[in-house]
Structures are given as structure tokens and as C-alpha cells.
Chain A
């Protein structure tokens, strides 16, 4: 079974530029998550999709961050414009269902550096 795919793996941009990340979840997984992991911290949930609908985006900085999952499969996360504090690893995860025993499968992440 193929895992969660993410691209690019690394990205360096200057502040105020735009950047987009792509995620392809495990086949058949209805739920998709985007997490932000700042150095020295644990991952923090940004947004959660169930199929192509948003379940939770309460921690997404909506003035600069946006995400979509148009066909209920792959997803993109965009930052526009980027700030220095957006430097982090952006992790995508997927799971089969929203159930109590939720095991989420993570991709390798995209490491973003904002200069």
C-alpha cells in the first residue's frame, strides 16, 4: 500500500512570496489533515477535510493560508504572502474515518524556509 505522498520535500522562499504544497493521501482514506510543525514543537493541526468538505479549520490563519481538496482526493495548501514565522515542516496525514481509534498516517512533510 502506497503511503501519503507530499511535494515538494523542501522549499526556500523570501518573505511576502507565495508557496503551495501538494498532498496525495492513501487511497480510500476519506479524511485528510494538514499539520504545521515548528522546530522544537509537536505538529499542530491547521485544517481537516472529510472527503472534499472542511471539518475543522479553526487554527488555520485564514488571512494568509488557504487549502482545498476539490475532488476529495489530493489536496493543496497555500501560503500567500509568507512570513518568517511560517518556517516549519508542513505535514499531511490521512485516515480512513473519523472514529475514536483514529490512526493517522503521515507523509514525509515539506520543509519550508522563509528568508
Chain B
């Protein structure tokens, strides 16, 4: 039972354009969401996060939007750069993080020149 779903296995975007990665969740107990970026042969690295009490968090080129009623979040990257090509994982946790992170399957973002 996938509690965190990333329904697009891959996404191709032209350099300079906006990349939008989507994530849906089913567990209403999740109250903190994180995006991780992963290059081949490396561990995931933290990118950006959002608490459930917010609907938007911005950090440079990266913005995460949260729609609690729809149980949906998205990561926007503007403008997209070649170095953004990687696998992006959406992850969630409950209050206190006692359960560890629950990850989606990931979306492979490819930035085309």
C-alpha cells in the first residue's frame, strides 16, 4: 500500500523552462513533507521541505506547494538547469518523525539542452 505516490516515473523538460514534479499521499497523519534529490551511485540529498501548517515554501529556484485538502504537493524548479537532472523523491513523516521517512517511488527528471 503506497502511502506516498509519485505517478510520473520520468519527466523531460527543456533547459530554462519550469519543471513541476507531483506527489500525492493517502495518510492524513503525515504533517511534514520533504523532497530529496538523488544522483546515480550517491545517497539522496535533502532539497526542500514544508510543514503541513504552510501551503508554500520557497528556496531559491525551488518552491514546494502543499494542498492539504487534495493531499497533494508539488515541487517547482524555475528555471531548470542541466544539473537538475536527477531522480527526485517525495517523502513524508508524522509528528516527531518516529516512523522515519515514507518515500515515493521517485521521478526521474531529465533537463534537455
Contacts and interface: CB of A to CB of B under 8 A. Distances in A.
Does B bind A?
A: yes
A21 interface: no
A33 B97 CA distance: 12
Nearest to B52: A100
A104 B101 contact: yes
A93 interface: yes
A35 B91 CA distance: 13
A115 B46 CA distance: 33
Nearest to B90: A42
Nearest to A58: B99
Given A101-B49, A103-B34, A103-B49, A45 B99 contact: yes
A103 B4 contact: no
Interface in B25-72: 31-32, 34, 36, 41-46, 49, 51
Contacts of A107: 43
A100 B4 contact: no
A43 B34 CA distance: 13
Given A56-B98, A100-B95, A103-B34, A42 B42 contact: no
A1 to B, nearest CB: 14
Given A102-B32, A103-B49, A108 B97 contact: no
A2 interface: no
A98 B103 CA distance: 17
Contacts, number: 69
Contacts of A48: 98, 100
Residue among A43, A91, A98, A108 with max Cβ neighbours from chain B (10 Å): A43
Interface string A82-96: 000000000101010
A98 B97 contact: yes
A46 to B, nearest CB: 9
A93 B43 contact: yes
A14 to B, nearest CB: 24
A56 B98 CA distance: 7
B100 A42 contact: no
Nearest to A97: B97
Interface in B56-111: 89, 91, 93, 95-106
B46 A103 contact: yes
